[in-house]
Amino acid sequence: MGNPRALRYACAVAAIAGLTGCNPPARQSETAELRNRVSALEARVAALETKNIELQSRADAAHAMAKAGLGDVDSLRETVNSNADIANRNTLAEMTRRGACGTRPEPIYASDGSGRQVGVHNKVIPCTLEDLKP
């Protein structure tokens, strides 16, 4: 806003400059009028400064509330993501258990150490996150 003292001086200088050619009663009347206007302007400046302080206080309070709200949002986001991760892992375990992602043949060797293949076992392929994507 401006410095009230500077405003008062500027008005006073303008008044003095404008009144130098007037007669004394007119100068006194105009000087009084200018003083009243300066006083009114100073009162208006004070009122605006008070309003500015009030608005700044409200803005600070709103900022604090918004910041607290963002903390709540972050906490909620973490909870939702954690729950989704748990649900995905449970789904993957269930899909793997029932063989939804397929099997691959795996040879079965003789236990006598001869290295000869005695059969084939279908090993379940573990499901991954890629398997959950549509």
Q: Considering its fold, how many domains does the chain have in total? A: 1
Extract long-range pairs of 121-127: CB within 8 Å, 24+ residues apart: 124/96, 124/97, 124/99, 125/96, 125/101, 126/92, 126/96, 126/101, 127/92, 127/95, 127/96, 127/100, 127/101
Per cent of the chain over pLDDT 90 is: 54
Tell me the pTM.
0.45
Measured between alpha carbons, how far is 117 from 10 in angstroms, rounded to an integer?
106
Q: Which domain holds residue 70?
A: 4-97
Quick: pLDDT tens for 42-89: 999 999 999 999 999 999 999 988 888 877 888 899 999 999 999 999
Whether 61 is in a domain gets the answer yes
Q: Indicate whether 17 belongs to any domain.
A: yes
The answer to whether residue 110 is domain-embedded is no
